[in-house]
């Protein structure tokens, strides 16, 4: 009887373990996710872009996805599509301000913005690329210098 009971228990436990499958890791905490989406590399940009397309999946984190894109500057100057780079920059600014750690992260956010703009410009060649790179540099210098002013950080009433 003991052997039979042991066999039934072993089979049941094995079945439960097999059914449950591997444990799913809990999502990273909000600061880690925010940091991963605001780095300078293309992988960070792509991860943020995918998350932006599925914002509902991240609702529990309470991220601020609002954007005014490139604020008072054109979103697509001279036809260069800078709008999404501006949206990610807004995302970083708004969420790090809400977290109370904006000033320590601002230089990286601005550098990530510039890298995003340069990736846009990499699609061009010749004079058009030179023009795009120059425009990207101008946008980068503007956020470095004025990125905490209401007109640039989106806190101005328009």
* Domain containing residue 39: 27-153
Summary mean pLDDT of the chain? 84
Q: What CATH number did the domain enclosing 33 receive?
A: 1.20.90.10
pTM for the model stands at 0.78
Annotated catalytic residue, options 33, 34, 85, 89: 89
Task: For residues 64-73, give the mean pLDDT.
Answer: 96
Cβ atoms of residues 102 and 93 within 8 Å? yes
pLDDT band per the 50, 70, 90 thresholds, residue 149: low
- Which pLDDT value is given to residue 34? 97
Number of domains the chain contains: 1
Residue 9: inside a domain, yes or no?
A: no
Residue 34: inside a domain, yes or no?
A: yes
CA-to-CA distance for 91 and 39, rounded, in angstroms? 12
- In 10 A of CB 5, how many CB atoms? 9
Query: Residue 78: left (phi > 0), alpha (psi -120 to 50), or beta?
Result: left
Residue 100: inside a domain, yes or no?
A: yes
Residue 1: inside a domain, yes or no?
A: no
pLDDT band per the 50, 70, 90 thresholds, residue 148: confident
Q: Is 89 a catalytic residue?
A: yes
- Which pLDDT value is given to residue 145? 95
pLDDT band per the 50, 70, 90 thresholds, residue 1: very low
Residue 8: inside a domain, yes or no?
A: no
- In 10 A of CB 33, how many CB atoms? 18
């Amino acid at each position: 009887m003991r052997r039979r009971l042991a066999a039934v228990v072993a089979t049941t436990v094995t079945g439960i373990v097999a059914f449950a499958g591997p444990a799913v890791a809990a999502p990273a905490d909000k600061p880690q996710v925010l940091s991963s989406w605001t780095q300078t590399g293309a992988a960070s940009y792509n991860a943020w872009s995918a998350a932006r397309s599925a914002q509902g999946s991240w609702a529990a984190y309470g991220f601020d996805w609002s954007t005014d894109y490139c604020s008072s500057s054109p979103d697509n100057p001279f036809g260069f599509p800078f709008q999404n780079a501006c949206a990610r920059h807004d995302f970083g600014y708004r969420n790090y301000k809400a977290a109370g750690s904006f000033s320590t992260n601002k230089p990286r956010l601005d550098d990530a913005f510039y890298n995003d703009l340069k990736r846009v410009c990499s699609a061009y060649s010749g004079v058009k690329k030179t023009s795009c790179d120059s425009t990207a540099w101008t946008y980068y210098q503007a956020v470095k210098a004025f990125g905490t002013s209401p007109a640039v950080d989106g806190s101005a009433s328009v």
